C-alpha cells in the first residue's frame, strides 16, 4: 500500500475512532437522562456530607480560628474537604465494579466479547459520559458551596500549581476508574465482589485522605504515600492548598502516571486471564 493510501486509512481510522467515542459518549449521556429525576436528586443529596463535615470541624475547632491541628486550621480543614469533594467528583466511580461483576455474573459481559469493541475502553468512555452529566447537574450546587465557603479558600494559586491540580484530577479519574474496574474484573474468579468493594471503600475512605488529611496518619502508616489511593482525594487537595512544594510536583505527577500504567497493565492482564476462565454460563 502506498503512503497516500496509508495516510488516508490513518485519517479514516482516526475519524472512525473519534466518531465511535463520541457516539458512546452521546448514547451514554442520552441514557443518563432517562432517569434524570433520580439522578438530579442523588447529585444534590451528595452535597449533604460536606455540610456535616463543615459543622463537625467547626465544633472541633470550637470557633478558635488560630487553633492548628497538625498544620491545619479550621479554614484549611474546610478548604481541604471542599477540594477533596471536588477530587472525589473525578475519582469516585459509583457502580462501576458492581456493574462489571453483575455483567460477568448474568452473562451480559458477552456483548463486549462478541462485538469488535474493547470492554475497558468502552466502559471508560461510558464513565466519562456519566461524569459529564454529573458535572453538568452538579456545577451549580458546586459553585454555590464554593461561593458560600469562599472565605475559607486560599487565593488563586500559581499557573504551575493550577495546572498540576487539573492534571491530578484527570489522573485521579483514571486511577479511580482502573482500581474499580480491576475489582470488578475479579468477578471472573469469584462472581460476587461486594465484600471486596466494601473493604476497598473502607480503605479508600481512610487511606485516600477522604476522612482526614494523610499527614495526620503517616506517622503510623508511613507507606500511605506509596499507595495509589492518595491520588483519589488527598493529593489534588494538597496540591491546591500548597502542601506539596512546587519543585516536587513533576515527580508526584510522574508517580501518579506510573500508577495509571501499572493499573492499566493489571486490568489488561486480569481481563486476559479472566476471559480465558470465563464459562459464559447463563444462556
Partner 1 sequence: MSRLTTIRLMPIINVQNLSRTYKVYRKNEGLLSSLRGLFHREYREVHAVRDVSFEIEEGEMLAFLGPNGAGKTTTLKLLSGLIEPTSGTATVMGYVPWKRENAYRRRFSLVTGQKEQLWWDLPAHESFRLHKEIYRIPEDDYDRRIDELTSLMDVKALIDQPVRELSLGERMRMELIAALLHRPDVLFLDEPTIGLDVISQRNVQQFLRSYQAEQKITVILTSHYMKDIEALCERAVVINRGSVIHDGPVSEIGDRFSQHKIIELTFANGSIPGDIHRFGDVLEDRTPMVRMQIPKEDVSNSLSRMLAQYNIDDVSVAERPLEDVIAELFSSESKADDVDE
Nearest approach, Cβ of 131 to partner 1 (angstroms)? Answer: 19
30 lies in the binding site for partner 1 (CB under 8 A): yes
Nearer to partner 1, 20 or 266 (CB): 20
Nearest approach, Cβ of 35 to partner 1 (angstroms)? Answer: 8
Residue 139 contacts residue 45 (beta carbons within 8 Å): no
Q: What is the DSSP letter of 149?
A: T
Among 6, 8, 19, 135, binds partner 1 (CB under 8 A): 19
In order of 74, 154, 177, 258, 259, the CA distances from 55 in angstroms are 11, 19, 31, 38, 35
- Going residue by residue from 252 to 281, which x/- string records binding to partner 1, judged by CB under 8 A? -----------------------xx-xxxx
216 lies in the binding site for partner 1 (CB under 8 A): no
245 lies in the binding site for partner 1 (CB under 8 A): no
| R_g (Cα) of the chain, nearest Å | 21
Among 37, 116, 155, 245, binds partner 1 (CB under 8 A): 116
42 lies in the binding site for partner 1 (CB under 8 A): no
Nearer to partner 1, 10 or 162 (CB): 10
Altogether, the residues listed in the chain come to a count of 283
**Residues with Cβ < 8 Å from 188, sequence gap 6 or more?**
104, 270, 273, 274, 275, 277, 278
In order of 36, 124, 226, the CA distances from 23 in angstroms are 20, 13, 38
Measured between alpha carbons, how far is 191 from 106 in angstroms, rounded to an integer? 9
Nearer to partner 1, 44 or 191 (CB): 191
218-228 in b/e form (b: 16+ CB < 10 A) is: eeeeeebeebb
Nearer to partner 1, 28 or 87 (CB): 28
Among 9, 11, 16, 68, binds partner 1 (CB under 8 A): 16
Among 8, 10, 31, 55, binds partner 1 (CB under 8 A): 31
Contact residues for partner 1, defined by CB under 8 A: 16, 19-20, 23-24, 27, 30-31, 34-35, 107-108, 110-111, 113-117, 275-276, 278-283
Amino acid at each position: 500500500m502506498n503512503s497516500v493510501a496509508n495516510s488516508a486509512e490513518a485519517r479514516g481510522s482516526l475519524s472512525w475512532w473519534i466518531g465511535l467515542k463520541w457516539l458512546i459518549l452521546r448514547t451514554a449521556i442520552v441514557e443518563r437522562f432517562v432517569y434524570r429525576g433520580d439522578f438530579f436528586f442523588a447529585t444534590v443529596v451528595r452535597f449533604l456530607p460536606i455540610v456535616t463535615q463543615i459543622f463537625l470541624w467547626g465544633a472541633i475547632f470550637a470557633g478558635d480560628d488560630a487553633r492548628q491541628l497538625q498544620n491545619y486550621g479550621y479554614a484549611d480543614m474546610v478548604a481541604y474537604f471542599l477540594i477533596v469533594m471536588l477530587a472525589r467528583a473525578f475519582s469516585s466511580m459509583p457502580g462501576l465494579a458492581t456493574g462489571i461483576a453483575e455483567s460477568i455474573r448474568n452473562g451480559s459481559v458477552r456483548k463486549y466479547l462478541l462485538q469488535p469493541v474493547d470492554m475497558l475502553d468502552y466502559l471508560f468512555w461510558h464513565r466519562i459520559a456519566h461524569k459529564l452529566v454529573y458535572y453538568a447537574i452538579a456545577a451549580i450546587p458546586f459553585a454555590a458551596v464554593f461561593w458560600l465557603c469562599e472565605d475559607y479558600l486560599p487565593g488563586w494559586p500559581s499557573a504551575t500549581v493550577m495546572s498540576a491540580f487539573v492534571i491530578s484530577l484527570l489522573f485521579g479519574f483514571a486511577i479511580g476508574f482502573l482500581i474499580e474496574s480491576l475489582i470488578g474484573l475479579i468477578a471472573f474468579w469469584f462472581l460476587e465482589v461486594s465484600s471486596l468493594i466494601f473493604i476497598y471503600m473502607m480503605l479508600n475512605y481512610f487511606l485516600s485522605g477522604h476522612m482526614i488529611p494523610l499527614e495526620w496518619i503517616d506517622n503510623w502508616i508511613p507507606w500511605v504515600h506509596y499507595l495509589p489511593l492518595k491520588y483519589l482525594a488527598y493529593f489534588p487537595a494538597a496540591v491546591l492548598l500548597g502542601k506539596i512544594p512546587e519543585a516536587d510536583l513533576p515527580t508526584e505527577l510522574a508517580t501518579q502516571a506510573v500508577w495509571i500504567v501499572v493499573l492499566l497493565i493489571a486490568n489488561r492482564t486480569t481481563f486476559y486471564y479472566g476471559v480465558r476462565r470465563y464459562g459464559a454460563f447463563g444462556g
